[in-house]
Amino acid sequence: MRGYDMKRTKYPLLPYSQLVWDMMQTDKEVYTFRSRVRVEKAVGRAARIEEALRAALRNHAVFSMRVDEQGMQYYDEQGDLLHGQFYAVEIEEAVDYIELDITSNRILGDGISGMVIMEDFLRAYRGLPLEKDCYLEYLEQTEQNKQTERYTASKQWLEVKFDRLTAPVHPTTDYPLTNVQGWKEALLNDDWSDLQESVYNTGREYMVTLTGIVALAAALAMMDYNGTDEAALTWAYDGRETDIEQHICGSLHRDIPLSVSRKSTDKSRKQLLQQVRAEMRQGIAHSAYPYTLVKPHTEVWNYAVNVLQQSAPTEMLQQMPFAVEDFEDLSCHTAYALLDIEIYAGETLEIVYRYSATHYRQESIQRYAALVRKNAEWLLKD
């Protein structure tokens, strides 16, 4: 369109960013995280680090987006690239080290976005070219997609499937959900390294992803825990379906609802694995409509177990041309979800239960985690 300039256009926030923005209206610090990175001081290193940071941030439009009072985002190129509306980077030079104090908010992007920024910083530090970020083009395409028949059909499909949901979406809490003030986060780690080879073998045999196997085990465990024969939860899909989207910083990920049933028949391992594969494929096909993040559905799905595979920064940090002395998370340990099940896959396989201690006792999560593992072991039998 002649004269059309995406940098002068206002766009709605992407679904998860909208959720964060809405929460910010009552808590300005919600989803704000702080970390510190310390490296050994060397001649010219601080200047090179700052230059590489500026180059990486400049390369991604989301860091130059502003959100107005109506919650609409628009491009407004940053004069100070190290300090934006939702982030700040402070660089301090001490006698023998350089320290970066980084504050950022989840409204800016998902976990993959963090890895993209680290990769761009590394390339910029080494003087290599950076790949273009098409965030503005993605926003424009998202708005165009909302006008399509496919988008409307996906909305209708999700409403028919989930609007009358009766299955539980989380293990029964120990304390009422009406306890809404001061959610405190707690963690429980479960090492699945002994199951790792079997998980991958089963995944290949039944064409089910690692996330799918963990989600199925989590749903079956929820049935055992709650005494039901069906359960539902959400799982995080990265939402990056094209090569171009792989390099976009922003909240592109989608929380997709998933229901599992063992009603009517005695479901076999094969039947359940096939069921979860079909459910996940259907969920992806209809995921353009953000069902779980739209009111009034949030009244249910905000409390659903969410299964997500996380990207750990360790490998990327190891590629840095200098040693990282300290990488410390100084967040305030507020729980932003009732129960997230995080998957960390690498040389080991770790399942981390990130839960609200305001609603669950530790022994209850331990019991639930044991049921998840028990069901996983059953699913992985030859």
Q: What is the pLDDT of residue 313?
A: 66
Q: What is the pLDDT of residue 333?
A: 79
Whether residue 198 has pLDDT greater than 90: yes
Whether residue 278 has pLDDT greater than 80: yes
pLDDT tens-digit readout, 93-109: 988 989 999 999 999 99
Whether residue 3 has pLDDT greater than 50: no
pLDDT tens-digit readout, 200-242: 999 999 999 999 999 999 999 999 999 999 999 999 999 898 9
| Dihedrals phi, psi of 95, to nearest 5 degrees | -60, -45
pLDDT tens-digit readout, 292-309: 999 999 999 999 999 999
The chain-wide mean pLDDT, for the chain, equals 91
Token pair, residue 185, equals 């986060």
pLDDT tens-digit readout, 333-369: 788 899 999 999 988 999 999 999 999 999 999 999 9
**Cα–Cα nearest to 9, from 67, 84, 73:** 73
Confidence of residue 195 (pLDDT cuts 50, 70, 90): very high
pLDDT tens-digit readout, 131-188: 999 999 999 999 999 999 999 999 999 999 999 999 999 999 999 998 777 789 999 9
Task: Judge contact between 145 and 51, C-beta under 8 A.
Answer: no
Write the CB contacts of 92 (distance below 8 Å, at least 6 apart in sequence). Answer: 98, 99, 100, 101
Q: Which of 25-29, 68-72, 323-327 is predicted most confidently?
A: 68-72
Cis amide bond preceding 296, omega within 30: yes
The pLDDT of 312-328, averaged and rounded, is 68
